Amino acid sequence: MTKAKEEHYRKLERMYASAPVNKYYAPTMRVSEGRAEVTIPIRPDFFHAGGAVHGLVYFKALDDAAFFAASSLVDHAFVLTVSFNLYMTRPISEGEMKATGRVTHRSRRLFIAESVLVDSDGREIARGSGTFMPSNIPLSPEVGYQ
């Protein structure tokens, strides 16, 4: 891996960490070539009335992992989610959730990425896939890319 690619991945991780929404969810992320991993510790304030994590947290983890997997392959522009489908297969109410995203297809302007979400015991709790494309927003310190 080149030094430039490694620095791109670290800048994406810092961009993710600096996003205001992540102050609430307190996730961690690791980015590599065509892949990203997001871990979110479970807290009771993520729960719906049924006592388990609300689907919005599942979506956040899955989309973030797939999004940054795609972003790892674009070093000039902020990537946008075009569409995302998810399947929730198991509830979670303790421990942490870990989403692993990977790019499965890429063309000049479109990326398809899949992500799988597991609980602390490694059991799959959800999966999703999305399409992503580079925007006209340059990667710069203004978007936290530094």
User: Domain extents for the chain?
Assistant: 3-143
Q: What does the DSSP 8-state code read for residue 141?
A: G
**Total-model pTM:** 0.96
Q: Which residues pair with 100 in a beta bridge?
A: 37, 116
Cα atoms in the Cβ-side hemisphere of radius 13 Å centred on 1 = 13
Summarize pLDDT for 72-117 with one digit per residue, the tens.
999 999 999 999 999 999 999 999 999 999 999 999 899 999 999 9
Of the candidate CATH numbers 3.40.640.10, 3.10.129.10, 3.30.200.20, 1.10.340.70, the domain formed by 3-143 belongs to 3.10.129.10
**φ and ψ at residue 118, rounded to 5 degrees:** -125, 160
3-state secondary structure of 34: coil
User: What local confidence, expressed as pLDDT, does residue 1 receive?
Assistant: 72
Q: What angle do CA 37, 32, 82 make, to 5 degrees?
A: 70
Tokens of 33: 């070539």
Q: Is the dihedral of CA 26, 60, 55, 99 positive or negative?
A: negative
Select from 136, 82, 77, 129 the least CA-distant residue to 104. Answer: 129
What residues pair up with 112 in beta bridges, in sequence order?
Answer: 105, 131
- The model's pLDDT over 26-85, given as tens digits with 9 standing for 90+, comes to 999 999 999 999 999 999 999 999 999 999 999 999 999 999 999 999 999 999 999 999
Q: What whole-number distance in Å separates Cα of residue 100 and Cα of residue 116?
A: 5
Question: Within 13 Å, how many C-alpha atoms sit on residue 42's CB side?
Answer: 20
Q: How many Cα atoms within 13 Å fall on the side-chain side of residue 84?
A: 24
Q: Rounded mean pLDDT of 15-26?
A: 96
Position 17 confidence tier, pLDDT thresholds 50, 70, 90: very high
